[in-house]
Amino acid sequence: MSKVITPRAEDYSAWYLDIVKNANLADNSAVRGCMVIKPYGYAIWENMRDALDLRFKATGHVNAYFPLFVPKSLFEAEEKNAEGFAKECAVVTHYRLKNDASRPGKLMVDPEAKLEEELVVRPTSEAIIWNTYRDWIQSYRDLPLLINQWANVVRWEMRTRPFLRTAEFLWQEGHTAHATKEEAIAETVTMLDVYADFAENVMAMPVIKGVKSANERFAGAEDTYCIEALMQDGKALQAGTSHFLGQNFAKAFEVKYLNKDNQQEYVWATSWGVSTRLIGALIMVHSDDAGLVLPPKLAPMQVVIVPIPNAVSPVIEECDRLAAELRSHGVRVHIDTDETKRSGFKFAEYEMRGVPVRVAIGKRDIENGTLEIARRDTKEKQTYPMADSSGIIRALLDEIQQNLYNRAKEYRDAHITHVNSFDEFKEVLETKGGFISAHWDGTGETEERIKELTKATIRCIPLDAANEDGVCVLSGAPSKQRVLFAKAY
């Protein structure tokens, strides 16, 4: 296969699609808007899932599974949430097919098999979950209820892109119930911190924690917290959200508990989620024109060993010995003994697939007691003594993880620009991109107007924003703090 990746500078969007295809992450499918996640892409998701699940468990959550289908009457119970998703719901209306008399061998929907009540394919599960929680929660002793589910959801999108926006996607959704408002808000913030920790320490992707403006808030939430990341093309991407839902769902579904004073009270709720979209973020934060670049903590193969020539004694024995040594330290190693491919091809192939460390061992090395180690992040390669190799490689994996984070953070920090006028705002947005830190008067009208004029939206009001008196870049009205604008995915 001659694999050519479009350079980022030429066409960023084509570059992204080339990475997805050539790194074997996903394929288009026969289903409009839906992708097939291939084994290599799915292995990355599994690593993300495992790291997140560990963190969810560590913060007291348990997993459960709720149905894919939501009866329409339940779905519409919390009005704001239902309205927010109404335009992109897949709906099941029938439960049977039959032979089509007019077209032999073909099937048709049986008009006799119409459902009495349509079923919405979940775009999110608040409705079915809160309807269930009503029965599970009676007393303050049942609280807090801390449940997560790993699931697929469907949002009928017009324009789709692999991982970033597909009609069906995989995610996790946490849904918790609490006795007090304070406790629910604390949970919302805790899970935001979990996401930020995961993004920065596992994905090596720096994020900004913040709160969404009213326009960008999750439908049905009182407050939406988010982590925002910056992609290499200067566009922002929401990498995770954590919602304080107030008592909206409790009231819609009558979820009450008896407090210590024997009085009925509505519970307080949160929900939080991240999706396979994170794989899209991972690609766009670290990868280069040679292909995917993966942080070691998520790479399905952390080290690939290429014997030169293939599978020949004593080269192969040395490869096996090193692999065993690395595996005993928990390193994920792959030895490529495929004799039908040349080593040069393999080098290019593993670069394309983002394997953090490549080791080459040849006859020459056996004679010299050496091996060649190449790192994917900087593409440097160097020869080392065989004797020290396991320790060197393990240290290198840590270094690569750290370097990817530092590199991404440097880029991100260099692309947060403070502006004080709308002219400056527009110029920075067009010439430099990235986050624009500016004063905003707090009104939805101004936010909407800025979006119309520039296509930039408020990504978040950073949690660590300092109090600073100023005037709104558009309206000139007084403002107490800066917010972050950007064009977004």
β pairing state of 114-121 and 381-385: unpaired
Which of residues 306 and 419 has its CB atom nearest to RNA in the complex?
306
Least gap, CB of 63 to RNA (angstroms): 21
User: Are the C-beta atoms of residues 184 and 269 closer than 8 Å to each other?
Assistant: yes
Least gap, CB of 343 to RNA (angstroms): 4
User: Are the C-beta atoms of residues 285 and 232 closer than 8 Å to each other?
Assistant: yes
Which of residues 183 and 372 has its CB atom nearest to RNA in the complex?
372
Least gap, CB of 275 to RNA (angstroms): 5
Which of residues 189 and 366 has its CB atom nearest to RNA in the complex?
366
Least gap, CB of 308 to RNA (angstroms): 5
User: Are the C-beta atoms of residues 270 and 245 closer than 8 Å to each other?
Assistant: yes
Alpha helices in 151-300 (DSSP H): 181-201, 248-253, 277-286
Tokens 């326009």 sit on residue:
215
User: Are the C-beta atoms of residues 349 and 376 closer than 8 Å to each other?
Assistant: no
Least gap, CB of 166 to RNA (angstroms): 5
Q: How far apart are CA 265 and CA 251, in angstroms?
A: 10
Which of residues 10 and 135 has its CB atom nearest to RNA in the complex?
10
The tokens for 242 are 């954590």
Residues that bind RNA (CB under 7 A): 1-5, 13, 28, 32, 87-88, 155, 157-160, 164-167, 169, 216, 218, 237-238, 241, 275-277, 290, 308-310, 339-340, 342-345, 347-349, 351-352, 358, 360-366, 371-372, 374, 379, 381, 455, 489
Number of Cβ within 10 Å of residue 261's Cβ equals: 7
Least gap, CB of 364 to RNA (angstroms): 3
Least gap, CB of 247 to RNA (angstroms): 21
User: Are the C-beta atoms of residues 369 and 315 closer than 8 Å to each other?
Assistant: no
Query: What is the helix (H) or strand (E) element at residue 374, kind and residue range?
Result: strand 370-375
Least gap, CB of 159 to RNA (angstroms): 4
Which of residues 142 and 157 has its CB atom nearest to RNA in the complex?
157
Which of residues 163 and 405 has its CB atom nearest to RNA in the complex?
163
Which of residues 32 and 260 has its CB atom nearest to RNA in the complex?
32
Nearest to 406 by CA among 198, 200, 172: 200
Nearest to 16 by CA among 171, 198, 201, 162: 162
First to last CA, the chain: 31
Cα 291 to Cα 24, 128, 265, 351: the distances in Å are 11, 41, 55, 6
Which of residues 243 and 439 has its CB atom nearest to RNA in the complex?
243
